[in-house]
Amino acid sequence: MSQPRRQHYVSEMQQRHFTDDKGKLYFFRKSQRETGALQSIPEKIFVEKDHYTLFWSCPVSVDS
């Protein structure tokens, strides 16, 4: 079974409390101030690939 790759750092449940009647959430990107307020649905924002995934680095032993 595969693990989810897209993980929210702000849960969708919390985001839904701030949506309008159409389910849209308005947000602002500080790095793109000229665009003004943007809108999206909670499923598509505040998401990162492998945000909570732990990657283990195990040393490999090589027998001679």
Enter the DSSP assignment of 51: T
In the prediction, which pLDDT does 24 show? 93
Confidence grade of residue 22 (pLDDT, cut at 50, 70, 90): very high
Q: Please say if the pLDDT value at position 64 is more than 60.
A: no
Q: Are 24 and 41 in contact (CB under 8 A)?
A: yes
- pLDDT, one tens digit per residue, over 1-21 is 566 677 766 777 788 888 999
Nearest to 8 by CA among 60, 42, 48, 40: 48
Q: Please say if the pLDDT value at position 35 is more than 70.
A: yes
In terms of C-beta density within 10 A (0-12 exposed, 13-18 middle, 19 or more buried), how is residue 63 classed? exposed
Entry pTM: 0.52
Phi, psi of 38 (to 5 degrees): -110, 165
